[in-house]
């Protein structure tokens, strides 16, 4: 698996509630190749725990979980 | 005096139960089966939220639609005419299609669901129909109950695209016994 540092795809889930940030990410990540990076922007406060859990269940590695104001940013590497 | 410690040989039955170092940590596929029996809006919501989230988490998800739940699979705009007046009346009293699900309480002749969907939009919550479509895109199996279809006068061509062949209780039970989790909603 070759990991690239550039974000290959961004999912804008701002303003969306559970389970949309996760479901939309799951749909989007299918279009990526293994090792590619996906970025997710969300405003749902529950998404921090959700993305950590989702990363654990799917094996897609969560490399960044940050917050800037009211916007959460997650970066995952496709397994 | 020195004692030599030797590792005892474990009985095979015990070894089998241990994690294989090769596959340890690997993601194992789990299966979820939901029996969607209710056609109520709040329950349809629960079914579609759990199904789409489980599929997003790479679980194998199957939903068995039975009784009132079956009406969620009827294509929008379809008029169920059935073969007799009772089936026709049933379809009139219980308008088919996932967009016409009623709340089990505070329905107020449709005012309740209308308000609920307005609130959902305001808070970025997807409607059951959108969640069902996303579930399908993530590979969730939608399985209608044959007996309910016959009794309610609903035919195969009146169901949305991508629905599997109707099956009976035995097939549903077989799926359930092989699943990691089963829900009756």
CB atoms A17 and B125 under 8 Å: yes
- Residue found under tokens 């609903």: B154
Q: What is the per-residue pLDDT across A8-59, written as a single tens digit (0 to 9) for each?
A: 999 999 999 999 999 999 999 999 999 999 999 999 999 999 999 999 999 9
- Per-residue pLDDT tens digits of chain B, which is 185 residues long: 555 555 555 555 554 545 555 555 555 689 999 999 999 999 999 999 999 999 999 999 999 999 999 999 999 888 888 889 888 888 888 888 899 899 988 988 889 999 999 999 999 999 999 999 999 999 999 999 999 999 999 999 999 999 999 999 999 999 999 999 999 99
Q: How far apart are CA B144 and CA B36, in angstroms?
A: 10
Q: Are B164 and B142 in contact (CB under 8 A)?
A: yes
Whether A14 contacts A71, CB under 8 Å = yes
Judge: B56–A16 Cβ closer than 8 Å, yes or no. Answer: no
Rounded Cα distance, B61 and B137, in Å: 12
Q: Give the C-alpha separation, B15 to B12, whole Å.
A: 5
Residues of A belonging to the active site: 18
Q: Where are the alpha helices (DSSP H) in chain B?
A: 12-17, 41-56, 85-93, 111-122, 128-137, 146-152, 169-177
**Which chain A positions have a beta carbon within 8 Å of B117's beta carbon?**
none
Instruction: Mark yes or no for CB contact A20/B137 under 8 Å.
Output: no
Closest Cα of chain A to B77: distance in Å? 27
Which pTM does this prediction carry?
Answer: 0.82
Rounded to two decimals, the ipTM of the complex is 0.84
List the single residue in B with minimal CA-CA distance to A58. B57
> A55: distance to nearest CA of chain B, Å?
9
């Amino acid at each position: 698996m070759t990991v690239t540092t550039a974000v290959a795809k961004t999912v804008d889930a701002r303003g969306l509630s559970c389970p949309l940030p996760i479901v939309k990410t799951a749909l989007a990540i299918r279009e990526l190749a293994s090792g590619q990076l996906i970025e997710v922007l969300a405003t749902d406060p529950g998404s921090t725990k959700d993305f950590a859990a989702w990363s654990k269940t799917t094996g897609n590695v969560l490399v960044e979980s940050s917050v800037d104001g009211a916007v959460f940013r997650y970066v995952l590497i496709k397994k | 005096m020195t004692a030599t410690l030797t590792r005892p040989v474990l009985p095979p039955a015990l070894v089998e139960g241990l994690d294989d170092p090769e596959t340890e940590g690997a993601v194992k596929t789990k299966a979820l089966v939901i029996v969607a029996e209710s056609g109520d809006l709040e329950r349809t919501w629960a079914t579609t939220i759990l199904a789409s989230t489980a599929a997003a988490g790479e679980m194998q998800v199957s939903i068995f639609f039975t009784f009132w739940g079956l009406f969620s699979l009827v294509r929008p705009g379809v008029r169920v005419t059935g073969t007799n007046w009772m089936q026709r009346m049933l379809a009139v009293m219980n308008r088919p299609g996932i967009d016409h699900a009623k709340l089990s309480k505070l329905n107020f002749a449709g005012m309740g669901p209308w308000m609920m969907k307005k609130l959902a939009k305001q808070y970025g919550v997807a409607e059951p129909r959108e969640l069902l479509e996303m579930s399908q895109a993530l590979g969730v199996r939608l399985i209608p109950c044959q007996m309910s279809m016959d009794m309610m006068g609903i035919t195969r061509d009146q169901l949305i695209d991508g629905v599997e062949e109707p099956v009976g209780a035995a097939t549903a039970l077989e799926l359930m016994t092989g699943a990691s989790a089963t829900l009756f909603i």
